[in-house]
Every structure is written in C-alpha cells, then in structure tokens.
Amino acid sequence: MTHDELLDYDREHLWHPYSSVSNPLPVYGVKSATGVRLRLTDGRELIDGMASWWSVIHGYNHPVLINAIQEQAARLPHVMFGGLTHEPAVQLAKTLVDITPAGLDLVFLSDSGSVSVEVAMKMAIQYYYAAGKRQKHRFLTIRSGYHGDVFHCMSVCDPENGMHQLFSGVLPEYYFADKPECKFSDEWDANDICSLQMLIEQHHNELCAVILEPIVQGAGGMRFYHPQYLRKVRELCNAFDVLLIADEIATGFGRSGKLFACNHADVVPDIMCLGKALTGGTMTLAATIASRKVEEMIASTDPGVFMHGPTFMGNPLACAVAQASIQLLLDSDYLTQIQNIEKQLEQGLAPCRDLDSVADVRVLGAIGVVELKEPVNMAHIQPAFVEKGVWVRPFGRLIYVMPSYCMENGDLQYLCSAICAVIEEEAAG
C-alpha cells in the first residue's frame, strides 16, 4: 500500500484504542523502528518518548531480542501449556523467581498486563473461598489508580477520574481509599495512611485483597508516592488477614529506578503482576507471581486447582524473548542509565514549571510528567508533537514520557525541549 492508501483504509476499518472511528484522532503510519526512532510511512522520523507504552526498554529492533525470536521460531513457535511444558517457560519462571522479592515462588503466565491483574484478582477470591471465608471476596484499592481494561480490572480503577466510569453500576463495587498525598521525596506524614487504615479496619471481614500500583500510579494520574505508605499497607494487610497485590506492570524492570517499585520499600506482596517491559516490548506476555501459601490454600479444597488457562499461555516465542530481555537488562548498567535519564528529565522539563498553564512537573527514574491545569486537546497537540519530530502521547491533563533506557542525552534534551515548546505554543493559542 502507498502511504495514503494505508491511512485511508485504516480510517475506514481499524478501531484504535480509546478512539472513535466516526470522529477519529490523528493516526500516523509507521514503516520501521530502530533504537529510539520511529520511521513514518511519509518519510518523517520521530524520537519516541513513549517506548510504545513504556515497554520497549532496550529500544526497537535490538539484535539480541530479534535473534531470540528467530531462533525460537525455528524450533517451536507455540504449543499448548496444558499438560506440556518447554525450556523457554521454565527458564523464564526460574529467572522471575530469582529476581522478584523473596517468597514469590510460583509463576502464572498470561497474554497481557490486564489479564495478569484479572488472574491475581481471581487468585485472591479463590484463596479465601478455599479458606472457608467466602464472604471475603471484595477488594480495596486507592484512588487515582489504573489496573487495566479487562472487565473485573476496571472495577479497581479510579471510579471518577479513571477511563471506565461509564461502566459504573455494572461493575462490582469495591472500596477506594483516598489517594496518597505524601510525595516520594517528602517527609513521611503518618496521616496519609488513615483513609486506607480506616477502610481495612472496618471491612477486613469481607476483603480478600488490597490491590495497588507500588510507588508509581500510572495511567490513573502518573503520581509518585512515599515508600512508607507501601510499608504501612503491608503491615495492615498482615494484621487483618488480607492479601496484598502489587501491580508492577508499568513499574517492573527498572522504570522507577529500582528493579521493581516494591524494592523502594523492601515490601514483598502476596501476588505481583508483571507485563509491558517483560519482553522488551517485542511480544505480548504477562506474569502473575504468587507466594506458595496462595497456591497451597487454593489447592486445599474443591476444585483443588486454579481456574484459569489462556490458550496462548506460556507461548515459547514470548517466553524466549522475555528471558533474553531480562538477561540483557541485568547484564547492563541499567540503574546508572536510569539515573542519567532521571537527571536529564529533571533538567529538561524544569522550564515547564515557569509556564502559567502547568500545574506540576515531576520526575522519578525514567518517568517524566508535566501536569497541566486544563486537559489537552488531543486532535491539536498530537500533530504539534509530530511536527517537532517527537512521539509523545498525552492524556487528560498529563503530558508524560517514559523513554527507552538506551536514549542518549542529546535525544533526551531534544525531547524535553520539544515538550516545553509545544506546551508554550498550545497555551498561547
């Protein structure tokens, strides 16, 4: 297809995420990608500040990852995981058990981050079903959170400002504590945990789990909160017999400046969800990792098995490239790379603080956020970024970047200057 034919057919027949076919947002054809650059079908080249929704941590088309896929495809592209196993899945499970917090010993593989959260929620419900506490089937979470698009996951996304409020009245209704206000680098304020503590004290007899994004709230608000908050949540869950689910889909594999965000607080959840960067952004794969006590309780009574099993669970191609991606990360000096990205984002986005349209600028690890006072006009701001030669995908009042860890200083500086320029131009009208 020509460039125009491709876009014309796309407009007529493809339904993009969070979009309308009747009134579409701008869409750009991508021909190829290497490192941190996207090459469009119209010949333009963009510096990608989004790492394809935070997943392409090593950059595009990395030879180690491509080789892992090619070699595995020549041997075994796929085989059902029911009653069969294979080396890529076993090796990946061993690596995940080794690098995640101690005590997370059992790996359940699925196809996407949203499904990994769905699996975790089902595990928590089935855990207390097996324990004979069948009234404990509700969840507690915090406002400004986001846990995915699968139906049950939507019930623990922010009920007012999240993407799924139109499903209220249809979704299960759970408990929402006030969002943490104590910022990551602030002095800890003990009052910050009061809302969640009150809810867990009042409702623990019906709660199966607290689910949250540790330290970094992603698509629900891009907020960074204090590690002590997470420690206090762990203490409360222990005290009131409630499981803790850590959704590390956005934060896993170094994004926050630690290998996992839970490591900022030295907290071990009962269940952890991983996705996005698990395969270095090459293939869809997710993992739900649980403590042995969760599985042993589930197995202790009828039906004696965990009731979930995706068709493409444990796909060998995805497992092989995930193993290669994790090893590539661990063999690199990724923490120094992320610290450098943090420094560059701090410096590069600082001028935005002086703009009247900006409410806040915040950076943690390889995450940079400019929060505006008013929502962006996506139909206008997206082309403005493309004209500057960068790919940035805002939502609501948030303009944020999560670049690949291999992005060099010159590209980081250009990316930040483009963000500052577009915000200033948009405010000027």
Question: What are the residue numbers of the active site?
Answer: 18, 146, 247, 276
Q: Shortest CA distance to 422 belongs to which of 130, 405, 404, 393?
A: 393
CA-atom Rg of the chain in angstroms = 22
Beta bridge partners of 223: 217
Residue 161 burial (CB < 10 Å; 0-12/13-18/19+)? middle
Q: Starting from the edge strand earliest in sequence, which strands make up the sheet with 207-212, in order?
A: 104-110, 286-291, 271-274, 243-247, 207-212, 138-142, 175-177
Length of the chain in terms of residues written: 429
Residue partners of 87: CB distance under 8 A and separation at least 6: none
Q: Shortest CA distance to 63 belongs to which of 316, 301, 369, 280?
A: 280
Phi-psi region of 169 (alpha: psi -120 to 50; beta: other; left: phi over 0): left
d(CA 179, CA 193): 9
d(CA 289, CA 309): 15
Distance, C-alpha 312 to centroid of its chain: 21
Whole-angstrom CA distances from 325 to 318, 329, 361, 406 are 10, 6, 31, 13
- The label of the residue with tokens 């990360």 reads 329
Beta bridge partners of 67: none
E strand or H helix at 89, and its extent?
A: helix 87-99
The amino acid that residue 331 corresponds to is D
Q: Shortest CA distance to 245 belongs to which of 283, 208, 199?
A: 208
Q: Shortest CA distance to 383 belongs to which of 40, 37, 12?
A: 40
